[in-house]
Structure 1
Amino acid sequence: MGPKIAPVAIEGISYITAQELRCVLSWFHGWGATQRQRFLEDLVSKAVPGKLCALLGELSLLQVQDKAPSIFECQLRLWNQWFESWSEDERNTFVRLLEESEPTFVAQFYQEIANTAGKD
């Protein structure tokens, strides 16, 4: 079980956004390695939109499925909706909170962003 996420207010963040941040962090702590890798790819594609490597990864997700989405897929859909509505400061707060509990993951995130430099 991952670390507890305190129910205190996050400075400069609305109550609703703070709840969304905590929710995604809670999901993250329950995800396995494969799900975290998929989330990392999604996070990188949001951090460096328009890069070819990120776009190719997104194209592979556009598959028609005959079955109901998994809980993880539903979580990612909510994550995407919420992320789109967050301000840049709120997005940075999310990464900062994630880094506090998962510094290795966030270090990998920054490395993946650095790997996109110079690629179109």
Structure 2
Amino acid sequence: MESNIINSTLREINCVIHWFQTWSRFQKEQFMADLVSKAMPNKVELLLGAINNMNVVDKPPNIFECQLRLFNQWFEQWSLNERNFMLERLESFDPVFVAEFYTQIQQTANVS
């Protein structure tokens, strides 16, 4: 699969994996919510949750917020194969996180 990923995207995925390894549990939970909302974009509940989590603050973003912004920009440009490859790489570092991601996707898909 890696041979199908262009070098710039591979570098971006490697950055995300590196950042992930340095994030706190709370930051990983925020990242999880972001991933689930990307995987299930048409779910109103997720949209409302994302809106509720938004904070308007008069301070510059912290490093984690900047990392998430970059991730979001990159993710939008990635193909489905590249997105799946990122999840495969993430799973090799934290299989419990990725299993929880799939569980949340399944639970979200079952919500009517």
Deviations 1:11-62 (A, max 9, x none): 2000000000000000000000000000000000001111122111211243
Q: Deviation digits for residues 77-109 of structure 1, max 9, x if unmatched?
A: 000000000000000000011011110000000
Q: Verify the 8 A CA contact 2:40 2:109 in the aligned structure 1.
A: no
Instruction: Point out 4+ residue stretches in structure 1 off by more than 3 angstroms.
Output: none
Name the CA distance, whole Å, in 1 between partners of 2:23 and 2:111: 30
Partner of 2:98: 106
Identity, % of aligned positions: 48
Tell me how many residue pairs correspond in the alignment. 112
Q: Is it true that 1:23 corresponds to 2:49 in the alignment?
A: no
* 1:20-99 equivalence runs, <5 A: 20-99=12-91
Distance 1:103 1:56 in 2: 28
TM-score for both structures, normalised by structure 1: 0.88
Asked if the contact 2:17/2:90 (under 8 Å) is kept, the reply is yes
Compute the TM-score of the two structures, normalised by the length of structure 2.
0.94
Structure 1 gaps of 5+ residues are 1-8
**Partner SS state of residue 3, structure 2:** coil
More helix by share: 2
Higher relative contact order (CA closer than 8 Å, sequence separation 6+): 2
